[in-house]
Amino acid sequence: SPSPCAFQALEAEARAALGRGDPQEVLSSASKLRVTREAMGTLREGQWLNDEVINFYLQLVAERSRKAGYPSVHAFSTFFYPKLVSGGHAAVRRWTKDMDIFQKDIILVPIHLGVHWALVVIDVRKKAIRYYDSLGQRGMKICQALLQYLQEESRSRRGLELASAQWSLHSMGAQEIPQQRNQSDCGVFLCQYAESICRERAITFS
């Protein structure tokens, strides 16, 4: 854990990021993504995290996975699932033109449900698709849509039929994972589910 001095420095940096300034000022950038002061403001208590912050955070998790000792991770952006739903596999085929997602251990798919965020985790090693929702909502239809995507991706990229009967789909129940106690923390819970899973740690945060 950080030393008291390091923790104070982090707190000061956070206060500065959430303070006044040009809303379009870029406060951080990585892998072609950036976070502006305006987006950082969604981290204030009672606010809803926006796409910019969630995509940035998941990209940091995916980048960390390149280090030894971590499972390999690919994080789709928040725009992936709506595109898949509206246009099918053909609409998102180019999203993986330079990679084979079946070579990854874990695939993260953030899901935006209008005014609520959830997360799907595809564990390629275990052939499992899991839906994580901090309000305990069910997401089996989303899991099924992503299994169909994997089937079409396998045919398209590898010329192989995916043995779908070997895959398990599960919508995590409210008793299985931490649940939010307000109407604003869903995005933070999404990020923390991803953080724990991609470090292969128990999901025990509150």
Q: Which residues pair with 107 in a beta bridge?
A: 74, 122
What CATH number labels 47-199? Answer: 3.40.395.10
Enter the tokens of residue 11: 């707190």
Q: Which of 152, 38, 139 has its CA nearest to residue 89? A: 152
DSSP 3-state of 92: helix
Q: Which of 33, 79, 37 has its CA nearest to residue 56? A: 33
Q: How many CA atoms lie within 13 A of 199 on its CB side?
A: 13
Enter the tokens of residue 78: 């928040």
What's the Cα-to-Cα distance from 44 to each of 18, 53, 57, 104, 129, rounded to whole Å?
7, 12, 16, 33, 31
Beta-carbon neighbour count of residue 25 at 10 Å? Answer: 12
Q: Which residues are catalytic?
A: 116, 133, 186
What residues contact 107, with CB distance under 8 A and at least 6 apart? Answer: 73, 74, 75, 76, 101, 121, 122, 124
Q: Fill in the DSSP letter of residue 47.
A: P
Cβ pair 206, 182 in contact under 8 A: no
Query: Tokens 């403001």 belong to which residue?
Result: 41
Cβ pair 62, 199 in contact under 8 A: no
Digit-by-digit pLDDT tens for the chain (206 residues) are: 567 776 566 565 556 555 565 555 454 555 565 655 554 555 656 566 788 889 989 998 999 999 989 999 999 999 999 999 999 999 999 999 989 999 999 999 999 998 999 999 999 999 999 999 999 999 999 999 999 999 999 999 999 999 999 999 999 999 999 999 998 899 999 999 999 999 999 999 88
Enter the tokens of residue 152: 């079409």
What residues contact 37, with CB distance under 8 A and at least 6 apart? Answer: 17, 21, 22, 23, 24, 25, 27
DSSP 3-state of 191: helix
Q: CATH 3.40.395.10 occupies which residues in the chain?
A: 47-199
What residues contact 9, with CB distance under 8 A and at least 6 apart? Answer: none
pLDDT of residue 27: 44
Cβ pair 130, 144 in contact under 8 A: no
